[in-house]
Amino acid sequence: MINICIPVHNRVDKTISCIESIKKQAYKNVCVVICNDGSTDNTQGIITKRFPDVVVLSGDGNLWWTGGTNLTVSYSLSHAGNNDFIFTLNNDTELLPDTLQRLAQTAEKYPHAIIGALNVFFSEPERIEPSAYKVKGGIFFRRMHHRINEWGEKLQDDLDVVEVDSLSGKGVLFPVSVFRDVGLYNAGKLPHYHADTELVFRAQRKGYRVYLDYKAKVLSHQELSGLGTVTSKPTVRGFVRSFSSLKSANHYKSLKNYCKLLYGKSYRRYLLLHLAKIILGFVRRFVFR
């Protein structure tokens, strides 16, 4: 069985579309578990009425992505068998009809491995939203994580399954043993962003292989991502504020904790490099938008 874990805060229309795409899957042996974290749009009532077989757990509105995901994963682990899977997903996504079937087949081919689905733009499914990382060496940054695809890169038909070092959380298939071996996402230090990547890297260091399946696709409403991402177009003031907002991938404290967890004592130079990339990216978008 695949336990599909989805944290939710409002956007009930997107949650409905996401669940409907799951219902259309060729692979049927699934259990959908949602954490409704303090939504104010009647998510609980609407989902329960429309999809009575979906498990809806409740949060107080302060769980954020990591805490909400941990709640769904914990519930799934308490009901899962040793051969079951956890599939993490966001509610601003939809699956193609063969997504889960393809992932299940790939998991059978690569046992004891973490398999990531390819994130593609919802409006342009031939273009990639990067979600996989490789560690590439260098003189000063030997352990730096680099995206293996460019933002909006056109998908090539000949790509299949490639081994990577880490993945983000929009559509990642885990054997349940991963969470039993390495624990849950780090909600204390990474409450909203970067916890997904950190957990996969943690599992990889424990011996789990990590793959990206280019044929298993997740349609992503990337324009709904948080502040400070590539798709956002903030003002200078908004960009500065993004470093103090938990809703932002630029949140300074989370970035610092992320670098500490991945790079240990040498985290400072990696943090500076991350910040430099963020600032240069904003300048580029601001000048050419």
Both 173 and 199 in one domain: the answer is yes
**What is the per-residue pLDDT for 90?**
96
For the chain, what is the mean pLDDT? 91
Both 123 and 236 in one domain: the answer is no
pLDDT in tens, 152-211: 999 998 899 999 999 987 999 999 999 999 999 999 999 999 999 999 999 999 999 999
pLDDT in tens, 263-286: 888 899 889 988 998 998 888 766
- Burial (0-12, 13-18, 19+ Cβ within 10 Å), 262: buried
CATH of the domain at 214: 3.90.550.10
Under 8 Å between Cβ of 39 and 10: yes
Both 95 and 189 in one domain: the answer is yes
Under 8 Å between Cβ of 227 and 247: yes
**What is the per-residue pLDDT for 158?**
87
Q: Which residue has the tokens 């429309």?
A: 50
Both 145 and 284 in one domain: the answer is no
Q: How far is CA 118 from the centre of its chain?
A: 11
The residue range of the domain holding 265 is: 225-289
Both 76 and 43 in one domain: the answer is yes
Under 8 Å between Cβ of 3 and 33: yes
Domain count, the chain: 2
Both 174 and 288 in one domain: the answer is no
Q: Give pTM, 2 decimals.
A: 0.92
**What is the per-residue pLDDT for 239?**
87
Both 62 and 167 in one domain: the answer is yes
Mean pLDDT of 89-93: 96
